[in-house]
Chain A
């Protein structure tokens, strides 16, 4: 698996992937931080309920400046960016796996590493490391931007740099990473099933952004079971209807399901194209 990891990592280290993957995550995190910190409700205004962290918020569900000044403020915007980062990772994984089928490179790879599960595991490990680097870079970039805008707007940030602030940031970044990986595994499973990137991305994004909401219209209880809802609850650290522990088990279950589908189909199916 180490050889498969090294080969995939070497392949990933090119501008198109770094800019298209990690660069997009950074851009999304910066954009979200800029919008939230620039548009946060001015100090002294009446807070309304809402916002990504579930605390007092401002107009349109954005966190209020009072919320942003708390120890959780450092990653208040990052929580919003997490869902978008998940979509980027889904696309990244689906493209990486689907293009091996499209370009016919899979047969070349399997001629050098016929142990298919090791090949897939090495590939996913390298992609996961890239995603980890991208998310850390996105977090660092959004923190700089958030701190800059907060300073310009007079939002105090001293609570951010406390132990509590760092602990909260670590938890949010970790949960964002886990959710992104599960999105990536969904992209992988779809790409293996379709043997192509485009339909995998179309179905993956279509389900995440549209399909699941349609299900919810007819099945309200789905908010505690459907993968997108479960991952949203997990990234928030739990919701009133789905505890963090339950969400964690469900996220683990979905990850296992996607791995099982990808692995069994990838291992079993003929490589004929």
Chain B
């Protein structure tokens, strides 16, 4: 088993509600893998099951080839930031990392360089409760770096960071992925996911709706966007495209035609012949945010 993470029918039910419903995944080792879905899609529950915090109702999972029923076998090689960072409020950032280093049996000499790496060196002695949200997030990422892991599991690592901080974290995660580590990162910032991830896993209502490369996903959404001058001709335009053998659907009042860009001239001609004046006709570039929203519904991501 050479997957970083593998699950077969992984399910977690709370009473009658399936937080994660029959999730089957196989994520390769190395690179950055984005984990996206609307709130309540089951991302955090999945991460908690992978980290041994929550027991699955059914199904099985493996992390770095070891079953999730024995987290001891793999957690020493996993760095995690689950949901939001949580540390002892009265202890300094340095002491908090020191506690985790002692507990995990990691070299405590790693604490200071890691604090520097996440930009907390000068504030390392300050109590955790005095940290801003962004600083707390950095300390959480620092804690994930402590074991020098093969796999990072990070839940919203850029939450609360300013644009410069987001860029730093993106660069850090990308460099870890390029260095052969596996980074499994959930995020609501789809532009960031698009920039840094090689692969994507998309959940909706506890179920997997996509797993593959970002390019594969975007390719599904490439097409033409046509907007009739007269909104009343919208449905006629859709029918025209469908009759020509290209699936068409509404996109915010325009028509998204699933056809290659080369069909634009034909479409223009056919529309003219049918008496439909087009105000706009352009190829649609692949946009992750739009694509994911279309796939998961228009809820809050």
Contact = CB atoms under 8 A, between A and B. Distances in A.
- Mostly helix, strand, loop or mixed at chain B's interface? loop
Contacts of A109: 100, 103
A272 B42 CA distance: 13
B82 interface: yes
Nearest to B19: A272
A119 B102 CA distance: 12
Interface string A1-23: 00110110011001010000000
- Mostly helix, strand, loop or mixed at chain A's interface? helix
A103 B75 contact: no
Report, as a range, how many residues of chain B touch the other chain.
Answer: 20 to 34
B86 A110 contact: no
B113 interface: no
Interface in A1-56: 3-4, 6-7, 10-11, 14, 16
B102 A107 contact: no
Interface in B224-241: none
A154 B52 CA distance: 65
B72 A108 contact: no
B102 A111 contact: no
B244 interface: no
Given A3-B104, A7-B100, A114 B55 contact: no
Given A103-B89, A108-B143, A10 B84 contact: no
A113 B51 CA distance: 11
A272 B102 contact: no
A119 B99 CA distance: 13
A260 interface: no
Nearest to B98: A10
Contacts of A3: 102-105
B46 to A, nearest CB: 13
Given A108-B143, A111-B75, A271 B100 contact: no
B87 A105 contact: yes
A14 B129 CA distance: 15
B80 A7 contact: no
Nearest to A118: B72
A104 interface: yes
Given A111-B51, A111-B80, A10 B86 contact: no
A112 to B, nearest CB: 4
Contacts of B100: 7, 108-109, 112
Contacts of B85: 108
Contacts of B86: 103-105, 107-108
B88 A271 contact: no
Contact of A111 (B82, B90, B95): B82
A16 B91 CA distance: 10
A153 interface: no
6 contacts: A7-B99, A11-B88, A107-B53, A114-B71, A270-B48, A270-B54
- The 8 lowest CB-CB distance pairs between A and B, nearest first, are A104-B86, A112-B104, A7-B103, A114-B71, A7-B102, A271-B53, A270-B54, A112-B103
